[in-house]
Amino acid sequence: MSSRVLVTAALTYANGSPHIGHLLEAIQTDVYVRARKLAGEDVVFMWAADTHGTPIQLKARDLGIAPEELIKQIHADHLEVYRGFDLGFDIYHTTHSDETKFHAEQVFRAIEQAGGVETREVQQLYCPHDQMFLPDRFVKGTCPKCHSPDQYGDNCEKCGATYDPTDMKEPACSLCGTKPVLKGSEHLVVPLGKHETFLRSWLAKEGSTQLQESVRNYVMTWVDGGLRDWDISRDEPYFGFEIPGHPGKYFYVWFDAPVGYIGATQKWCNDNNKNVDDYWRSTPADTEIVHVIGKDIVYFHCLFWPAMLNAAGYTVPSRVQVHGWLTINGEKMSKSRGIFISGRAYLEHLPPAYLRYYLAAKLGSGQDDLDFNFEDFVNRVNADLVKKAANLASRCIKFIGGRLGGTLGEPADDAAQLLATAATRVQEAKDLYAAFESGRALRKAMEIAEDFNLYLTNAAPWKLTKSDPERARAICSAGVMASKLIAAILKPVLPRWAEQLETMLGLPAPLTFANAAEPLPAGLELGKYTALAEPIDIKKLEAIMEASVPKPPPEPEPERSFDYEVEPLAAETSIDNFVPIDLRVGLVTACDKVKKSKKLLQLTVDLGPLGTRNIFSGISQSYAPEELVGKKVVVYANLKPRKMRFGLSEGMVLAAGADDTAITVLELHDRARPGDRIT
RNA sequence: GCCGGGGUAGCUCAGCUGGUUAGAGCGGAGGAUUCAUAACCCUCAGGUCGGCGGUUCAAGUCCGCCCCUCGGCACCA
């Protein structure tokens, strides 16, 4: 066992408030940390907000405030929400800090001195109006392949072509519309190929790094496919740290973001009289470094990050634990479609314990996606927490309090075996937690509750209050003891539950995995029972989701503001340009999903006297096929038929919407006749 | 197309290195009980363990092929 353990959750990007997806990871990390602490290990949870990069810079500009001000506000918000969920991090720092800057520079200098940094001349689009180089997604223009207008600088959503923003026709800055110019710039790159030997050993199956098998395989495909150079610099203006010795160049946000882990540790060490080198200049055998991340950032944490650390002489991670995505009622989260839960909205309606329990109960060590299902949530919380665990404590403590003078006795002999099994389960749970198997660990607690609820029913102490009160006391005392063991297992997930029970039982010391099985003294005066968990109603969850979705502004302000952007208005034109476009009323008579296609639906559209058409439309992410059947839609009917992979598309169905998942097909009133021209 | 994960009772899932009549939780049906937060306890699911072949004395459990589904990649990191 290492003498020290340092755990991190991924840094939350400081451009918004944490949502339930962030909380999944935070809770997973917190449960892991608390469990290992409860096991008596020296564990710290180092965390921070990720504050640099173009999106934050631009958001601050839109709000008319300095980026420093923006991230300060957001940091405060993160801290409040995360504390609200009882997350036991030792620090929630920020990457925009002296400590992170210091270590980012250290890492960079070390790599540079070892000859690990090279320069490359990069030609990039530059907006003379905004006076900045434009990342690919900030360029809009016409696709060089299919000539669709208004596509992003990296690929075309219409034809799927990929290209360089410099290849686009009529490129424009997406911020101001100005035509960007091509400008050369020198970038600093780290040729990752130089670190291949190290990375292979770090990733090796036989090595000491703990990685999920699927993660290891995934990363190895990158290594085997040839490691590319990593561009670590960005030109000013860029919200971040200037690179030492390279004026006007800034660290790319992904260079300094993970260094935020070290920065947070440095700050915490400064404040707590510890030595940062014990953590980050140690050997993995001496200090475990465990990163909990989502599957989107595996690339950074399993390639760049260990390579950087190793090259700069820092401790490399000993474990990277990857989790999947959170879906809500089986659907991907999406603010625009109202499928979204913010941490803040949750806290306004429900106690954090339920979410912590639900997510921890569903989490295992795999990286499967996890569904937040409302019905399941209510069932699980009510059945496990309320009906099983809380009820066991309630029936025993209340029984002793109400009928037996509130004094605990020795646990009954016939419960000894069950209590021994329960004590074993606590130890098993400890190990399960350390393996990120919180779901299984919690099951152990429920097994204890099931055992003892049954035991109590069979032993029926309520029949003995008159005839044999001491026997009744012994039975219930065993139940109280079981509740204590359950609370120990629940403690990493439900710290407040454990504290409440500690108070009711008047425990001399906080519960740990080690002391959980220590007997309670006979003669102990029990405190009054206070409810450990209350049943919840599914309506609460619906209310939370509603409250999470940004509401439209109550009254239109003099200057209307929108939370979305639309394409700029096309150039003015005459009616002559409209005439050649023949739009017709079409009745959708059949509609099916296209196999092997993510976006397409295949429609059969009746144009009345003009016959029927087969039309493919990229709206499958917004419509179920059956929704469209019987609808009257607008068809661009003289559009040249287009051969697609799945067949011939004979026209186009008109629709509105920027996002593939939020498209609205134009529908006509029922009195429109199929085939009628639209003018 | 390529790479991964899945496909086991109505739902969510356990089933490790193959071995008696395939399990749990939830929901549902019935019953028992009243200490407890209408809580607890008992009984009830006759499930082709996605399909087809194969290995074996023995296969959800190993091998091959196929189907379905989810995710990732293929452009960016």
For residues A514-541, give the mean pLDDT. 90
Q: Which of A461, A442, A348 is nearest to A396 (CA)?
A: A461
Nucleotide B3, nearest residue via CA and C1': A218
Nucleotide B32, nearest residue via CA and C1': A457
Find the nucleotide nearest A395 (Cα to C1′): B36
Tell me, in Å, how far CA of A368 is from C1' of B49? 21
Give per-residue pLDDT as tens, A545-593.
888 876 654 433 434 455 565 665 665 666 656 666 778 888 888 887 7
Instruction: Say if A527 falls within a structural domain.
Output: no
Claim to verify: residue A463 and residue A317 sit in the same structural domain: no
Question: Structural domain of residue A491, as residue ranges?
Answer: 375-505
Find the nucleotide nearest A454 (Cα to C1′): B41
Report the CATH number at residue A197: 3.40.50.620
Tell me, in Å, how far CA of A461 is from C1' of B23? 32
CA pair distance A527, A500, nearest whole angstrom: 10
Tell me, in Å, how far CA of A319 is from C1' of B49? 35
Nucleotide B6, nearest residue via CA and C1': A368
Confidence of residue A176 (pLDDT cuts 50, 70, 90): confident
Find the nucleotide nearest A367 (Cα to C1′): B5
Find the nucleotide nearest A535 (Cα to C1′): B37
Find the nucleotide nearest A458 (Cα to C1′): B41
Nucleotide B74, nearest residue via CA and C1': A162
Instruction: Say if A250 falls within a structural domain.
Output: yes
Q: What are A554's two structure tokens? A: 């109550």
For residues A124-143, give the mean pLDDT. 81
Q: Report, in ranges, which bases of strand B sit under 7 Å from a protein C-beta.
A: 1, 3-5, 11-14, 25-27, 34-37, 39-42, 68-72, 75-77
Find the nucleotide nearest A228 (Cα to C1′): B77
CA dihedral sign of residues A397, A403, A404, A405: positive
Candidate from A177-186, A314-323, A351-360 with smallest mean pLDDT: A177-186
The residue that leads in pLDDT, A95 or A177, is A95
Instruction: Say if A675 falls within a structural domain.
Output: no
Tell me, in Å, how far CA of A541 is from C1' of B11? 19
The residue that leads in pLDDT, A313 or A153, is A313
For residues A210-216, give the mean pLDDT. 82
Tell me, in Å, how far CA of A47 is from C1' of B66? 48
Claim to verify: residue A303 and residue A424 sit in the same structural domain: no
Claim to verify: residue A102 and residue A40 sit in the same structural domain: yes
Instruction: Say if A95 falls within a structural domain.
Output: yes
**pLDDT for A249:** 94
CA pair distance A55, A253, nearest whole angstrom: 10
- Compute CA distances A391 → A168, A415, A439, A453, whole Å: 66, 18, 21, 9
**pLDDT for A576:** 58
Residue A32 confidence (pLDDT) above 90? yes
For residues A459-465, give the mean pLDDT. 91
Q: What are phi and psi of A290, to 5 degrees?
A: -120, 120
Domain boundary among A279, A294, A323: A323
Q: What is the DSSP letter of A559?
A: S
SS3 at position A220: helix
Confidence of residue A299 (pLDDT cuts 50, 70, 90): confident
Residues 6 or more apart whose CB falls under 8 angstroms from that of A162 comprise A154, A155, A156
Nucleotide B14, nearest residue via CA and C1': A440
Candidate from A281-290, A298-307, A643-652 with smallest mean pLDDT: A643-652
Claim to verify: residue A123 and residue A233 sit in the same structural domain: yes
Tell me, in Å, how far CA of A584 is from C1' of B23? 60
Q: What is the DSSP letter of A586?
A: E
**pLDDT for A233:** 93
For residues A49-57, give the mean pLDDT. 90
* Percentage of chain A exceeding pLDDT 90: 43
Confidence of residue A158 (pLDDT cuts 50, 70, 90): low
Find the nucleotide nearest A391 (Cα to C1′): B36
Residue A178 confidence (pLDDT) above 60? yes
Which residues are bridge partners to A321 per DSSP? Answer: A292
For residues A103-131, give the mean pLDDT. 91
Provide ipTM, 2 decimals: 0.85
**pLDDT for A83:** 96
Report the CATH number at residue A583: 2.40.50.140
For residues A395-417, give the mean pLDDT. 92
Tell me, in Å, how far CA of A347 is from C1' of B14? 33
**pLDDT for A269:** 98
Claim to verify: residue A311 and residue A423 sit in the same structural domain: no
Find the nucleotide nearest A298 (Cα to C1′): B77
Candidate from A107-116, A158-167, A570-579 with smallest mean pLDDT: A570-579
Instruction: Say if A352 falls within a structural domain.
Output: no
**pLDDT for A483:** 94
CA pair distance A173, A127, nearest whole angstrom: 6
Tell me, in Å, how far CA of A588 is from C1' of B52? 40
Instruction: Say if A647 falls within a structural domain.
Output: yes
Domain boundary among A472, A505, A538: A505
Residue A55 confidence (pLDDT) above 90? no
Confidence of residue A454 (pLDDT cuts 50, 70, 90): confident
Report the CATH number at residue A389: 1.10.730.10
Domain boundary among A468, A489, A505: A505
| Mode of pairing for the β-strands spanning A370-372 and A326-328 | parallel
Claim to verify: residue A450 and residue A589 sit in the same structural domain: no
Nucleotide B40, nearest residue via CA and C1': A453
Where would I find the H helices in A162-252?
196-203, 213-224
Tell me, in Å, how far CA of A253 is from C1' of B74? 26
Nucleotide B70, nearest residue via CA and C1': A369
Mean model confidence pLDDT for chain A: 86
Instruction: Say if A466 falls within a structural domain.
Output: yes
**pLDDT for A644:** 65
Nucleotide B11, nearest residue via CA and C1': A376
Claim to verify: residue A453 and residue A317 sit in the same structural domain: no
**pLDDT for A554:** 43
Confidence of residue A540 (pLDDT cuts 50, 70, 90): confident
**pLDDT for A631:** 84
Claim to verify: residue A308 and residue A190 sit in the same structural domain: yes
**pLDDT for A237:** 85
Claim to verify: residue A306 and residue A412 sit in the same structural domain: no
CA pair distance A479, A512, nearest whole angstrom: 19
Q: What are phi and psi of A55, to 5 degrees?
A: -55, -40
**pLDDT for A593:** 73
- Compute CA distances A219 → A283, A298, A422, whole Å: 23, 8, 41
How many domains is chain A partitioned into structurally?
3
**pLDDT for A156:** 64
The residue that leads in pLDDT, A386 or A559, is A386
Residue A597 confidence (pLDDT) above 70? no
Instruction: Say if A364 falls within a structural domain.
Output: no
Claim to verify: residue A203 and residue A289 sit in the same structural domain: yes
Residue pair A666/A655 in contact (Cβ under 8 Å)? The answer is yes
For residues A126-148, give the mean pLDDT. 79
Find the nucleotide nearest A373 (Cα to C1′): B12
Tell me, in Å, how far CA of A631 is from C1' of B68? 30
For residues A59-86, give the mean pLDDT. 94
Claim to verify: residue A395 and residue A312 sit in the same structural domain: no
- Compute CA distances A10 → A21, A77, A160, A171, A203, whole Å: 12, 17, 32, 35, 20
Tell me, in Å, how far CA of A565 is from C1' of B70? 31
Tell me, in Å, how far CA of A392 is from C1' of B25? 18
Tell me, in Å, how far CA of A532 is from C1' of B42? 27
**pLDDT for A596:** 61
**pLDDT for A10:** 93
Candidate from A195-199, A437-441, A593-597 with smallest mean pLDDT: A593-597
**pLDDT for A310:** 94
Claim to verify: residue A311 and residue A451 sit in the same structural domain: no
Find the nucleotide nearest A399 (Cα to C1′): B35
Find the nucleotide nearest A440 (Cα to C1′): B14
Tell me, in Å, how far CA of A380 is from C1' of B26? 7
Tell me, in Å, how far CA of A415 is from C1' of B71? 48
Tell me, in Å, how far CA of A212 is from C1' of B63? 25
Find the nucleotide nearest A160 (Cα to C1′): B75
Candidate from A242-246, A319-323, A497-501, A625-629 with smallest mean pLDDT: A625-629
